[in-house]
């Protein structure tokens, strides 16, 4: 089920590192919103609200409602700085989006059907070579994630970008660069123990010859 994310914000006037530290001590997170043909605005967010939102994977690939000065702006999260040791968001960047403008976003991949695949049933191991992809789409077509079906893969086979079934209106950026960029996103390979046994067997056969 799709989630709706609403962020309450206030315009901030104090700038600089000292002002940002004071905001964080007060339970606020400094941020900026830009784009959409309008001037950038420095804002503050309630840290407790942000912490709850970032627990959801969809928050990072979703059209967000930014409530600022009594008006709701449609935005996407472009950057987020975390504290290296604490559960704290230090700063956030948001970009305004318009319904008619195509946007570039990174969305997560969800791998399905692994246990049903012939390769896994034969003892193979799954390798996820990437966990997200860059897409282009209109805001209304932005998916929270994209599924990658692994159910038909044998040992030694891979799923490439061109194999992914995309939602309507979504384009993979990688495929716009030509066939040479049709990279693999996941594969099934022989388990190490089995592979080593095969190598030993091949070596013994070579000696016998």
Query: What is the side-by-side order of every strand in the sheet holding 158-160?
Result: 125-128, 184-189, 158-160
Query: pTM for the full model?
Result: 0.79
Domain boundary (65, 98, 131) is at: 98
148 and 118 in a common domain: yes
Residues 4-58: tens digit of each pLDDT: 789 999 998 777 777 888 888 888 999 999 998 888 999 999 999 999 999 899 9
Residue 178 in any domain: the answer is yes
Same domain membership, residue 86 and residue 120: no
The answer to whether residues 134 and 105 touch, using CB atoms and an 8 Å cutoff, is yes
Q: Is 204 contained in some domain?
A: no
CATH classification of the domain holding 62 = 2.40.240.10
Task: Centre a 10 Å sphere on the Cβ of residue 122 and count the other Cβ atoms it contains.
Answer: 13
Do 73 and 37 meet the contact criterion of CB atoms below 8 Å apart?
Answer: no
- Per-residue pLDDT tens for 107-124? 999 999 999 999 999 999
Residues 184, 188, 192: CA angle, nearest 5 degrees:
125
State the average pLDDT over residues 129-143.
94
Where in the sequence is the domain holding 175, given as residue range(s)? Answer: 104-196
Distance CA 92, CA 77 (A): 7
CA torsion sign, 6 to 7 to 8 to 11?
negative
pLDDT at 1 over 50: no
């Amino acid at each position: 089920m799709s989630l709706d994310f609403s962020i309450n914000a206030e315009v901030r006037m104090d700038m600089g590192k000292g002002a940002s530290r004071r905001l964080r001590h007060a339970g606020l997170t400094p941020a900026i919103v830009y784009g959409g043909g309008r001037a950038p605005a420095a804002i503050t967010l309630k840290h407790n609200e942000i912490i709850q939102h970032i627990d959801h994977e969809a928050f990072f690939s979703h059209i967000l409602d930014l409530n600022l000065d009594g008006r709701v702006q449609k935005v996407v999260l472009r950057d987020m700085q975390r504290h290296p040791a604490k559960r704290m968001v230090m700063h956030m960047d948001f970009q305004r989006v318009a319904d008619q403008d195509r946007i570039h976003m990174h969305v997560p991949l969800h791998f399905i059907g692994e246990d049903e695949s012939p390769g896994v049933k034969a003892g193979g191991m799954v390798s996820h070579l990437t966990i997200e992809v860059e897409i282009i789409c209109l805001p209304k077509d932005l998916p929270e994630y994209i599924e990658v079906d692994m159910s038909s893969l044998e040992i030694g086979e891979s799923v490439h970008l061109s194999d992914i079934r995309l939602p309507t209106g979504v384009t993979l950026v990688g495929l716009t660069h030509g066939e040479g960029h049709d990279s693999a996103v996941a594969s099934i390979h022989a388990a190490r123990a089995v592979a080593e046994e095969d190598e030993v067997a091949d070596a013994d056969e070579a000696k016998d010859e």
